[in-house]
Amino acid sequence: MTNSVDTQSLMLQMRSLAAEAASQSQPVKQPEKGAETAGNFAELLSQSVNSVAEEQNKSSAMKTAFEKGEDVDLTEVMVQAQKASLSFQAMTQVRNKLVEAYKDIKNMPI
């Protein structure tokens, strides 16, 4: 079973998905003072981790469906796998920046 992939079509889909993602970005709200800011940050971080997990679960489900021979397009599987990979890499970078900021604050002289 050979699946030929139309690279032009795949690139157009990836560009349209990137444009869609850019247009869906929401404006950033100004944080409120005090403990509410910490609560909002913790909630935002939790939502981000859950979103990454959801993308990875969707990717895994699509891969499994494709392997079972169900009616799933290979390009959709690959695009979802890339979405999951990119979201995980972005979350890793955010984590690294948070750890770096924590270390900087911890090492500040009092």
Chain segment 77-104, per-residue pLDDT in tens: 999 999 999 999 999 999 899 899 999 9
This model's pTM is above 0.75: no
- Average pLDDT (10-20) is 69
Domain count, the chain: 1
Looking at per-residue confidence, does 87 or 8 come out higher?
Answer: 87
Which of 18-32, 37-51, 61-75 shows the lowest per-residue confidence on average (mean pLDDT)? 18-32
Q: Looking at the domain assignment, is residue 29 inside a domain?
A: no
Count how many Cα atoms sit within 13 Å of the Cα of residue 32 in the half-sphere of its side chain: 4
* Beta carbons within 8 Å of 21's beta carbon, 6+ residues apart: none
* Residue 96: CB atoms within 10 Å: 10
Q: Looking at the domain assignment, is residue 34 inside a domain?
A: no
Q: Looking at the domain assignment, is residue 96 inside a domain?
A: yes
Q: Looking at the domain assignment, is residue 98 inside a domain?
A: yes
> Given pLDDT bands bounded at 50, 70 and 90, which one contains residue 4?
low
Vertex 39 angle, CA 37 and 43, to 5° = 115
